[in-house]
Structure 1
Amino acid sequence: MLVVIDNYDSFTYNLVQYLGELGQEIKVFRNDQVTLEEIRALNPDHIVISPGPGDPNDGGISLDVLREFGPTTPIFGVCLGHQ
């Protein structure tokens, strides 16, 4: 299971399309419409944090996801805040 955190960026679904070609199940959540508990319940193998406007502090749950899952789950972040 791959979880993608969508930071309201138009590039998010380009990433999802490419990642989907790898054949893994993908769940996409907006950064303000999911909880850490919901992500934990999915037991993701990997997490992708999409690009988004502003700086990382504007990324909703994104920083909390990094803190919570970073020590145990591979996380790939894509240029958040470099708009």
Structure 2
Amino acid sequence: MAHSPVRTVVLARSLAEFHAWCRQTDTSPRDRTILYASGPTVLNGLAQVEIVRHGLWWDRLDEAAYTDAVASLERRNGALEASDV
């Protein structure tokens, strides 16, 4: 059985900031290995991920639920940590 590739989960304050990260890293927002974590529920059930924190990723209306979901993902999956951009 083939293993799925590691997905990169980008934590950003908004879709516009996710697109800014994509431009900075010369990455297509349509790349299937890149996932914009638009909210806490997007993080449920993920495995084999690398987390990238971009800018003021935590400065959101759903900050508490979002940061709790990120912490849960890190604990649950032993998520790989990428450097902040």
TM-score bracket for this pair, using the shorter chain length: 0.5 to 0.7
Residue type matched to 1:5 in 2? L
**How high is the sequence identity, in percent, across the aligned residues?**
11
Correspondence for 1:20 among 23, 27, 42: 27
Secondary structure of 2:56's aligned partner: coil
Cα deviation for residue 67 of structure 1 reads 2.2
User: Residue 12 of structure 1 contacts residue 51 of structure 1 at CA under 8 Å; is this kept in 2?
Assistant: no
Q: Which has the larger radius of gyration?
A: 2
Query: Residues 18-73 of structure 1: CA distance to partner in whole angstroms, max 9, x if unpaired?
Result: 1637x77101123xx332xx4242324201122128xx575724422442233411
Aligned residue among 14, 20, 33 for 1:8: 14
Aligned length: 72
Structure 1: which 5+ runs fail to align?
Answer: none
SS of equivalent residue, structure 1 residue 20: coil
Given candidates 68, 74, 83, the residue that maps to 2:72 is 68
TM-score norm. by structure 1 comes to: 0.52
In structure 1, what residue type is equivalent to 2:36? V
CA RMSD between the two structures = 3.5
